[in-house]
Amino acid sequence: MYRVAPWISVEPNKTPAAILGPLPFKRERVALAIPRTVVPANAGGILIFAWVGLSGKNARFAYWHFASTLADGSQNWFSMLIAGDTAGQSVTSNSQAFWLPQPADGKLIVTLFANDLTSPSNGGQVEIHGYYPGAATA
């Protein structure tokens, strides 16, 4: 009988290298390296956590794709949506955690779509919160 091995949790407050970097707030694509000191190269999957907070004048909405490129060049990804306030009268936030396969190139691709989010008081980042150690064991 096969069983699924437990995942390994990573706490960014104890492992600062697990904080991969800030979210892009312009419509662009960024590649965030996944440190091998945080996730071993032979890991089967990664638990990505992203958060965002908007305040001040921003576009009505935007969304990010978080992608893992596989060895065959295909991608697995998830999205996170945020609503902005064009009048700058409110604060809004969102977060998302999602499992992705370990990227073949060791990089997580983060792309902002729809609109730039231009308020200088915006914040957000991408973190590793865990990894799956590999294939099922007997």
The confidence score (pLDDT) of residue 138 equals 42
The confidence score (pLDDT) of residue 4 equals 63
3 pLDDT more than 90: no
The string of DSSP codes covering 50-72 is: EEEEEESS--SEEEEEEEEE-TT
What topology does CATH give the domain 10-132? Jelly Rolls (2.60.120)
Q: Sketch the domain layout of the chain as residue ranges.
A: 10-132
d(CA 131, CA 11): 11
133 pLDDT more than 90: no
The pLDDT > 90 percentage for the chain reads 90
As a whole number, mean pLDDT of residues 63-82 equals 96
52 pLDDT more than 60: yes
Q: Enter the tokens of residue 92.
A: 């809004």
As a whole number, mean pLDDT of residues 77-101 equals 96
d(CA 90, CA 57): 9
1 pLDDT more than 60: no
Which residues, listed in sequence order, are joined to residue 76 by a DSSP beta bridge? 68
Taking only the tens place, the pLDDT of each residue in 93-114 is 999 999 999 999 999 999 999 9
Q: Check residue 28 and report its DSSP letter.
A: -
135 pLDDT more than 60: no
d(CA 52, CA 128): 15
Nearest partner of 53 among 120, 102, 131, 138, judged by Cα: 120
CA atoms within 13 A on the CB side of 115: 15
